[in-house]
Structure 1
Amino acid sequence: MVAQITEGVKVSVETTYQPEYSNPANEHFMFAYKIQIENLSEYSVQLLRRHWVIFDSNGTKREVEGEGVVGLQPIIEPGQNYEYVSGCNLKTDMGAMQGTYQMKRLVDEELFDALIPEFNLIAPFKLN
């Protein structure tokens, strides 16, 4: 698990290779990632947008942006956390992701980017 704290918002990531949804012969490798966002600050925050940068080990880079996460723009109260699971497909058995969440501090409407630490996506058979 990797984690990063930005302005009192801690983002932690765990990944899992999904062999049942992958097809290596067709260059399709599916990974799930679980994100936990903890509000360590004294102010309520809302997640407004996400921006991902996805790297394949073949040198391909792509970016994904959009509102919220899994269709939601959660408000996270001080001391609370929000978790969700999503997925990413790669054309290779190794890659990485990183990004940002645009957050809004509700007390003063101030916007800031919470960093999502870079994390690796590696099929387990690649490690042998």
Structure 2
Amino acid sequence: MTDANHQIRVSVETEYLADQSDVDNQRWVFAYHITIRNEGRFSARLLTRHWIITDGEERVQEVHGEGVVGEQPNLAPGQEFHYSSGAILETEVGSMRGSYQMIAEDGTCFDAEIPAFTLATPHALH
């Protein structure tokens, strides 16, 4: 739980990459575009990430790592950081959720939640 001093908002847009997917071999490729916005009172640096990726068969993969796209951005209050990455699923629909582990300039460590979002091919969901 974060307080007013440590608030990070994460928003996500997704897209299906048909040209990189191989349906015959059960390989569906998706891109996701992340915006991380510091809505708190202190600067905060993203240290690590934790993703939980679930495909349409309920298979779960967890990913832990330092930073995002090779960076550990430091966000001043009101500042945003944008990046894009991707995921490969064995089903045409799945979901992702997770968190970023942050450290604020006051020394407080906290998690910024990445809300669950859906990865789906066009027309996969009614």
TM-score by length of 1: 0.92
Structure-1 residue corresponding to 2:54:
55
Aligned residues: 123
TM-fit CA distance, 1:125? 3.3
- After TM superposition, the structure 1 = structure 2 runs for residues 1-128 of structure 1, keeping only pairs within 5 Å, are 7-106=6-105, 108-127=106-125
Structure 1, unaligned runs of 5 or more = none
TM-fit CA distance, 1:42? 1.4
Counterpart code for 1:31: F
Separation (CA, whole Å) in 2 of partners of 1:28 and 1:126? 15
> Secondary structure of the equivalent of 1:25?
helix
Separation (CA, whole Å) in 1 of partners of 2:65 and 2:107? 20
> Secondary structure of the equivalent of 1:20?
helix
TM-fit CA distance, 1:55? 0.2
Counterpart code for 2:83: Y
> Secondary structure of the equivalent of 1:126?
coil
Which structure 1 residue ranges, 4+ long, deviate > 2 Å from structure 2?
A: none
Separation (CA, whole Å) in 1 of partners of 2:118 and 2:49? 18
Separation (CA, whole Å) in 1 of partners of 2:107 and 2:27? 41
Separation (CA, whole Å) in 1 of partners of 2:11 and 2:58? 25
Separation (CA, whole Å) in 2 of partners of 1:35 and 1:113? 16
Aligned-pair RMSD on alpha carbons? 1.4
> Secondary structure of the equivalent of 1:11?
strand
TM-fit CA distance, 1:8? 1.4
> Secondary structure of the equivalent of 2:24?
helix
TM-score by length of 2: 0.93
Q: Deviations over 1:24-77 (max 9, x none)?
A: 110000000000000111110000000000000112101000000000000001
> Secondary structure of the equivalent of 1:86?
strand
